[in-house]
Amino acid sequence: MAEVNEAVKERSMVIQKEMLAELFTELSTAKEKGRKVVYTFVPGNLTELILALDMLPVYPEINALQSGMRKKSASYIKDAEKMGFSEDVCTYVKCDIGMMLNGNIGPTGEKLPDPDLLLLSYTGCFTFMKWFENLEKLYPGVEIAMLHTPYQEDGRITEDQITYMVKQLEEEVIPKLEKVAGKKLDRARLAKMLENSSKAEDLWVKVLHSAKTVPSPIDSYFAGVYYMGPLFTAFRGTERALEYYQELHDEIMERQAKGLLPITPEGEMKEERFRLLVEGPPNWTNFREFWKIFYDMGAVIVASTYTKVGGVYDQGFRHDPDNPIESLARYCMGCYTNLSLPQRVDLLEHYIKEYKVDGFLINSIKSCNSFSAGQLLMMREIEKRCGIPVGFIESDLVDPRYFSYANIKNRLESYFQMLAQRKSILAQQPTTEKA
């Protein structure tokens, strides 16, 4: 159980907080300082390209999730629905558009600058295209660049796909970025950034891998979403991100060496009862309550697919300074939601084995067909292949109408009971049988 005490502020947390504060200050003064602003998506983002051209990235998905955490999303979503968006569609889109209708006020209370460029890195989600088609009309005259990332339908990245991506990047995306930035891309600077990315990615993978130890020093889902922030968004490729991941890595290695358990908002966990793998994004509107249900029960998420939406680095991919554009192309195509369903199932199976997982849980998100469509078949496949208890809950990202605390808690409690029973049965069996 988690011990209630003052939340410990690790140095890495302080660094991340400072990084975010600096970014938002830069954004709030971007227009007066003549900095160009690029709106883009998290999966398959081209942050190094944006930063190498001295532009500032804004991620509408992050705005939406932050609005969810700040309890503003419900009214933003309603405003977008009044404008004609159906109750049925992705709430990230509606939350973002609602936020825009309400003055685009960011988490610091200051207005986010309008985009100079919409960079539609169309990776792993069809809705992205619809989202930016809408934004393009809501910001009349804004420049827009499209990068169509082919899906790994055959379970691999093909040469044709790479050529298609590289051509788009070289002939369409980079020229458009340069046009908006008003300068040529400095390829040496890009290579340096990709080198930084690659080093940070190494450290990130070590952080993820730390959860293989029993007990795990980290929660790879609830805390993982904080850990992944700098690498998945505005900071990949920067020295600052490298500094952050070095610090995070060192802290976690220290925790691991000491046999400490994950940190939660209520302090350190004292017992690891269940090791879980979670598929699907978390709910943001009730994030803390949601997390608490798990740590109160001693459940640690040792691996998750959501922390792979910005890159499946733990399977070997690294940005490559010697092959910059192709590696950006490979990066985009390799993000989790751009994997085929068979690849996703294989990856889940791999995590179950590698991370000594007791149970597999799906948090199925109403908004997100990219994640959710097919999850029930994936669940059956995992049950069949791995024989571990599977659980299924439903919620939404930022629409509080679809988060029923009582319902989710009930379901999770029954699920944890099932896990506990299975554990005690397994404990009574001779070791050979267990294997």
Partner 1 sequence: MTGIKQPPARLAEILRTCEQLAFDLEFTHAKAWRKAADDRLLVGYLPIYVPREVIHAANGLPVGIMGVGDHKRIIKGDAYYQSYICHLPRGIIEMALDSNLEDFDGFLFPAICDCVRNLSGMFKLAQKGKFTRYFDYPQNFKEHIGGTFFRELIETVESDMFKLNGVKVTPERLNHSIGLYNRNRSMIEAIYDIRQEFPWRLSAVDTYYILRAGLVMPVEEHNAILEEVLELIGLDHGEAMDNIRVVVTGSFCEQPPIGMLKSMEMAGCYIVDDDLMLGSRWTQGDVDDTTDDPLGAIVTAFLEKSPSSSAVYDVGNPKGARLVDLVRHRHADGVIFCAASFCDPALLDRPELQKACDAAGIVHINFQFHENTGQFKVIKEQAGTFSDSIKLWV
In whole angstroms, give the CA distance from residue 354 to residue 348: 10
The amino acid sitting at 413 is E
139 binds partner 1 (CB under 8 A): no
**Beta pairing partners, 299:** 274
**Beta pairing partners, 274:** 299
Nearest to 165 by CA among 176, 153, 157, 177: 157
370 binds partner 1 (CB under 8 A): yes
Contact code string over 191-220 relative to partner 1, x by CB under 8 A: ------------------------------
> Which of 370, 391, 393, 419: binder of ligand SF4 (CB under 6 A)?
370
For residue 112, the 8-state DSSP code is P
349 binds partner 1 (CB under 8 A): no
Shortest spacing between CB 271 and partner 1, in angstroms:
33
The amino acid sitting at 369 is N
Of 44-52, 289-297, 349-357, 363-371, which segment contacts ligand SF4 by CB under 6 A?
Answer: 363-371
Query: Which does residue 92 bind out of ligand SF4, partner 1, none, counting CB within 5 to 8 angstroms by kind?
Result: ligand SF4
Strand 117-122 to strand 143-148: parallel, antiparallel, or no bridges (unpaired)?
A: parallel
Shortest spacing between CB 379 and partner 1, in angstroms:
10
92 binds ligand SF4 (CB under 6 A): yes
Nearest to 381 by CA among 352, 407, 355, 404: 352
357 binds ligand SF4 (CB under 6 A): no
Residue-by-residue DSSP string for 274-328: EEEEEESPPPSTTHHHHHHHHHHTTEEEEEESGGGTT--GGGT----TTSHHHHH
76 binds ligand SF4 (CB under 6 A): no
368 binds ligand SF4 (CB under 6 A): yes
> Which of 7, 14, 21, 129: binder of partner 1 (CB under 8 A)?
129
Do 226 and 16 touch, CB atoms closer than 8 A? Answer: yes
Do 88 and 94 touch, CB atoms closer than 8 A? Answer: no
Query: Which does residue 153 bind out of partner 1, ligand SF4, none, counting CB within 5 to 8 angstroms by kind?
Result: partner 1
Number of residues engaging partner 1 in binding (CB under 8 A): 52
Shortest spacing between CB 134 and partner 1, in angstroms:
6
For residue 270, the 8-state DSSP code is -
45 binds ligand SF4 (CB under 6 A): no
Nearest to 169 by CA among 333, 313, 335, 336: 333
**Beta pairing partners, 147:** 121
Pick the closer one to partner 1 by CB: 237 or 334: 334
Do 67 and 73 touch, CB atoms closer than 8 A? Answer: yes
Q: Which residue has the tokens 């490729």?
A: 237
In whole angstroms, give the CA distance from residue 391 to residue 408: 11
> Which of 47, 305, 338, 367: binder of ligand SF4 (CB under 6 A)?
367
> Which of 10, 26, 136, 268: binder of partner 1 (CB under 8 A)?
136
148 binds partner 1 (CB under 8 A): yes
User: Which residues contact partner 1 (rule: CB under 8 A)?
Assistant: 83-86, 88-90, 93, 122, 125-127, 129-131, 133-134, 136-137, 144, 146, 148, 150-151, 153-154, 160-161, 163-164, 167-168, 171-172, 340-342, 344-345, 364, 366, 369-370, 372-378, 381, 394
Q: Which residues bind ligand SF4 (CB under 6 A)?
A: 61, 90, 92, 125, 127-128, 337, 367-371, 397
